[in-house]
A and B are shown apart, each in its own frame.
Chain A
Amino acid sequence: EVQLLESGGGLAQPGGSLRLSCAASGFIFSNAAMSWVRQAPGKGLEWVSGIGGSGGGTYYADSVRGRFTVTRDDSKRTLTLQMNSLRAEDTAVYYCVKGRLPPDSWGQGTLVTVSS
């Protein structure tokens, strides 16, 4: 069974940083492309960032490019999103999502709140 467990959410100040992690199990992690998708309170889904499997590239939404960095550690089966220069509009539940063709499994999400 695929399991994706996000952690690292919480309260951050504008301009601050947070680091999200996603612990994966139940599939061959190194082969899988992975993404982060967020959902602001009461809003729709927004794809944020993705990383290819097996040494594939990294990809970002325009809204986060230059501020967020996605990485993966295949030995630890962990996906990470480093979020810098946070803004109020980054407030959302952040989901870890497995797969690319198509994205097929979602974690339960971790809440990030950016507020002073």
Chain B
Amino acid sequence: EIVMTQSPATLSVSPGERATLSCRASQSVGSDLAWYQQKPGQAPRLLISGASTRATVFPVRFSGSGSGTEFTLTISSLQSEDFAVYYCQQYNNWPLTFGQGTRVEIK
């Protein structure tokens, strides 16, 4: 099983600031890495796939990068609607494992 590790667990950011979230895989997953956004009481939504391809419903301030074992999700200028929990998931191999999540909260 591929273990996914996210850091930090909680990120406190002021609106308008940049947020950088990290995700590490215990072995290479190539570019088979997705990011999901989850808000309270809602199902997760696919934000990024292929490590860097943003879903069209999300604004351009969201970007993903990385390959192999190291990945980053960047939110360039946080808006109020971006405060949520973000999960990475590898889909290179079954089981499709998740990181433990990063909560982005208002500073």
Enumerate chain A interface residues (CB-CB to B < 8 A). 35, 37, 44-47, 50, 59-62, 95, 100-109
Contact = CB atoms under 8 A, between A and B. Distances in A.
B45 A44 contact: no
Contacts, number: 56
Contact of B96 (A62, A103, A107, A108): A103
A107 B34 contact: no
A103 B44 CA distance: 11
B11 interface: no
A72 to B, nearest CB: 15
Nearest to B48: A102
Contacts of B87: 44-45
Contacts of B99: 44
Among A45, A60, A61, A109, find the residue whose CB has the most chain B CB atoms closer than 10 A.
A45
Given A44-B87, A45-B44, A106-B43, A35 B98 contact: no
